[in-house]
Amino acid sequence: MNLTRFEAITSRYPSLRLAVVGDFCLDRYFDIDPARSEISIETNLPVHNITRVRCQPGGAGTILNNLVALGVGELRPVGFCGDDGEGWELRRALAALPGVKLDGFLTTPERHTFTYSKPLLHRAGQPPEELSRLDLKNWTETPKELQKQLARKLTGTCLSEPSLDADRRLPQQTKPVDGLIVLDQVDIAGTGVVSHWLLHAVGLIRHAYSENKARCPIVADSRRGLREWPHVIFKMNAKELGALAGAPVDSLDEIKAACASMAKTNGQPAFVTLAERGIVGAMPSGEVEHVPSLPVRGPIDIVGAGDSVTANLTAALAAGATIREAMELAMAAASIVIHQLGTTGTASVAQLRKVLF
């Protein structure tokens, strides 16, 4: 990709409307000063004194943060938070992001807000050291009525019609969104946003846009794998690819072949992230590309790298990039993010330009 193509693709970002559906969580960072440590009089245990608390959207919110950093014009999250203090913080953090419309984001007393609490020790001249994380999750199935409500919110966002009927059409005057990202972050199926009803809605959206021949990349990512998902753009790592293919894949040739097979089966592009080996992408036509990762430039923190890849792939494809161009942008973004320590980072267009050119 040359600078002219880079400018052509990224200049379209401010006009894009993208939806992000999935498990939004609160990333809560506790910055600890070891010089202020003490021993509890009551328990005789060490006390970590917190000097600052930082709250930002995590999970699907990390993808949203990356899209904001890219300057995407309008962002429509679909998900939920609990009716609790963490939910208040998460909603406030989402509302503060430019271009974010919260019409599809629900507050419910039936769920806890998914929260990652991350204590960080800050020592002079050293990278932050993360202590044991404290997580707040839901361990029961998401109530059925909430599942249906989220599915209707998604179809309303992407089809301008909150119906789950099988025969949907786009409004003739315009398409409501230019791209959709679906992130399944939870450890136990059915305890978060993604459900049978939600996947049914994703299938309806894919069908409606295909019938209207409208460009709308739908990118799916799930830490538990994408088996039985609608045929959309799959983004996964090599281990997840092997699980889906039914056999381990390790060599680059094996990964390319399995990725190409998946793209052909789904009739959609497919992407496989390979950590330090980069990323592989394939088209249904059989075209396969490999883009290596950029060299490491110092201490790294890989948290958030995968979400930055998802965000950049989707924005670039929605703006008309080829799969190779999208992967080059995604690898540049991942390189920028992993070098941001003590936070779940993002990459701006200006930062991408500096790394690539």
Secondary structure class of 209 (helix, strand, coil): helix
Secondary structure class of 54 (helix, strand, coil): strand
User: Residue 155's closest CA among 95, 78, 48, 74?
Assistant: 78
On the 0-12 / 13-18 / 19+ scale of CB atoms within 10 A, 53 is exposed
C-alpha–C-alpha distance, residues 298 and 302, integer Å = 12
Query: Mutual orientation of helices 196-211 and 144-159 as an angle, nearest 10°?
Result: 20
Tell me the chain's radius of gyration from C-alpha atoms. Answer: 20
C-alpha–C-alpha distance, residues 62 and 274, integer Å = 20
Q: Which residues contact 125 (CB under 8 A, 6 or more apart)?
A: none
14 DSSP assignment: G
Q: Are 344 and 304 in contact (CB under 8 A)?
A: yes
Q: What pLDDT is attached to residue 127?
A: 87
Q: What pLDDT is attached to residue 170?
A: 67
Q: What pLDDT is attached to residue 211?
A: 80
Find tokens 């990512």 and name the residue. 221
Q: What pLDDT is attached to residue 303?
A: 82
C-alpha–C-alpha distance, residues 343 and 128, integer Å = 9
C-alpha–C-alpha distance, residues 158 and 78, integer Å = 10
pTM score over 0.85: yes
User: Residue 57's closest CA among 99, 84, 24?
Assistant: 24
Q: What pLDDT is attached to residue 169?
A: 64
User: Residue 185's closest CA among 174, 194, 197, 176?
Assistant: 194
Q: Are 21 and 14 in contact (CB under 8 A)?
A: no
User: Residue 205's closest CA among 15, 12, 16, 21?
Assistant: 21
- Is domain 3-356 annotated with CATH 3.40.1190.20? yes
Q: Are 38 and 47 in contact (CB under 8 A)?
A: yes
For the chain, give percent helix, strand, coil, nearest 5: 35, 25, 40
Q: What pLDDT is attached to residue 210?
A: 87
C-alpha–C-alpha distance, residues 311 and 109, integer Å = 30
Q: Which amino acid would we find at residue 218? A: I
Residues with pLDDT less than 70, the chain: 166-174
Q: What pLDDT is attached to residue 332?
A: 96
CA 188, 190, 193, 194 torsion: positive or negative? positive
Q: What pLDDT is attached to residue 172?
A: 56
Per residue in 91-146, pLDDT (tens digit) is: 999 999 999 999 999 999 999 999 999 999 999 888 889 999 999 999 999 999 99
Q: Are 178 and 17 in contact (CB under 8 A)?
A: yes
Q: Hey, what are 36's tokens?
A: 């202020």
Percent of the chain residues past pLDDT 90, beyond the cut: 82
100 DSSP assignment: B
On the 0-12 / 13-18 / 19+ scale of CB atoms within 10 A, 107 is middle
Q: Are 202 and 217 in contact (CB under 8 A)?
A: no
What does the DSSP assignment read for 114-172?
A: PEEEEEEE--TTS--EE---EEE---SPPPHHHHHHHHHHHHHHHHS-----S-----T
Q: Mean of the per-residue pLDDT values for the chain?
A: 93
How far, rounded to the nearest angstrom, does the alpha carbon of residue 62 sit from its chain's CA centroid?
6
Q: Which residues contact 50 (CB under 8 A, 6 or more apart)?
A: 30, 31, 32, 119
Q: Are 156 and 176 in contact (CB under 8 A)?
A: no
